[in-house]
A = this chain, B = another copy of it.
Amino acid sequence: MHVRNTKSKSLILETLKNSKQAVSHEKIQAELGESVDRATIYRVLNRFCEEGIAHRITGDDGKQYFAACLKCQGKEHRHNHLHFRCLNCGKVECLPNEIELKLPAGYRPANFNGFISGHCPACA
């Protein structure tokens, strides 16, 4: 299955990389306007996640947010960090601190998804 480089892909990847925050589909659509179809954006984002170019986080608002993998090198993907969502301005950011996952015996973790919602410095 040969991957192809398309206009949509590069536009979306650029948007992800340019943003210092995690972005929702809505945000990307707004950024790109009608130049890229809604379904295409979803599909490209899903592919990015599969390919390990981006990671997906499910917000405590139930929506999906995406962020480019910056520190992940090779096939090592670990995203054990929290995210902050501002209840006022809506922005979502990756927090620096890594979270140590402590699980009772027998549990096999596959993914971590953590959110703190509240008010960011600009909105507090």
Contact = CB atoms under 8 A, between A and B. Distances in A.
Interface of A: 58-64, 82, 84, 87, 95-97, 99, 101-121, 124
A114 B111 contact: no
A114 B117 contact: no
Given A82-B101, A108-B118, A108-B119, 6 more contacts: A58-B62, A60-B111, A62-B63, A82-B114, A104-B121, A106-B124
Given A106-B120, A121-B107, A113 B62 contact: no
Nearest to A64: B62
A107 B120 contact: yes
Contacts of A97: 102
A87 B107 CA distance: 11
A22 to B, nearest CB: 14
A117 B106 contact: no
A121 to B, nearest CB: 3
A117 B121 contact: no
